[in-house]
Amino acid sequence: MNGLLIFVGLLVLVAAGLWWLGRLRGAALQLVIAALLVGGAGYARQGRPTLSGAPKSSSQRSAPMPLTAARQAMLGQFNQTGRWLMMADSFAARGKTGEAVGIVRAGLRQHPEDAGLWVGLGNALVDHAGMLTPAAEFAFARARQLAPRHPAPLFFRGLALARSGQRDEALKSWNQALALTPTGTAYRPMIVGGIAVLEGRAEPLPSSPEPATGE
């Protein structure tokens, strides 16, 4: 509980800095706050290194993380990836995480070389298990093979690591994702914000840049 309260306090400070000093407004502010909630809350709620590695029962698993906005910011929405993943999201939101995994796998049978779907499979597997599993790790690794210069596989793998309580590895993955993200990319503040939360910093983030052309 103390960890969650600390995180909420940090979120309030960062949001205030973004609004006042960073001059973020509207959708841009909502996007960054959503990323902070996803990245920080996952670690604050589930980062318990002293627990054993026993698998969780369905009643012990945390609710699926709301990843839609972050994923669409990085991978797009109106494409073959978005269509399958939106269907999977609808099942996961109702607690049917196994069905969500099945939908993404069905998409991959049609589009086996789609890096976005492999990222989505990794996310769905983490939601289903409540932690990063070898199968999810494989899915993120496959996405990296298909899109080695895109930060999304590293970002969402880092999120899965944070949710599993592996803070240092999560930071490493997110810093690697940040290194692959051009300065003018619209979702760069989302990655910067996640790193700041995991590092325990409450500094104002840079204002949201205009989307890079051709993204």
CATH topology of domain 2-51+60-198: 1.25.40
pLDDT score for 184: 84
Phi first, then psi: give them for residue 100, nearest 5 degrees.
Answer: -60, -40
Q: What is the mean pLDDT of the chain?
A: 74
Q: What SS3 class is residue 147?
A: coil
Q: What is the pTM of this model?
A: 0.68
Measure the CA–CA gap between 179 and 145, rounded to whole angstroms.
Answer: 17
Lowest mean pLDDT among 4-13, 100-109, 201-210: 201-210
Cα of first residue to Cα of last residue in the chain, in angstroms, is 40
Share of the chain above pLDDT 70, in %: 61
Residues 38, 160 contacting (CB under 8 angstroms): no
What would the DSSP string read from start to end of 84-117? HHHHHHHHHHTT-HHHHHHHHHHHHHH-TT-HHH
pLDDT score for 63: 54
Model confidence pLDDT, tens digit, residues 115-153: 999 999 999 999 999 899 999 999 999 999 999 999 999
Q: Among 149, 150, 175, which Cα is nearest to 162's? A: 175
Measure the CA–CA gap between 139 and 156, rounded to whole angstroms.
Answer: 11
Residue with the bigger pLDDT between 74 and 169: it is: 169
Q: Where are the domains of the chain?
A: 2-51+60-198
Residue with the bigger pLDDT between 200 and 186: it is: 186
Q: Is the pLDDT of residue 154 over 50?
A: yes
pLDDT score for 80: 73
78 in the Ramachandran plot: left (φ > 0), alpha (ψ -120 to 50) or beta? beta
Model confidence pLDDT, tens digit, residues 18-72: 444 444 444 554 555 555 555 554 444 444 444 444 444 444 455 556 677 788 7
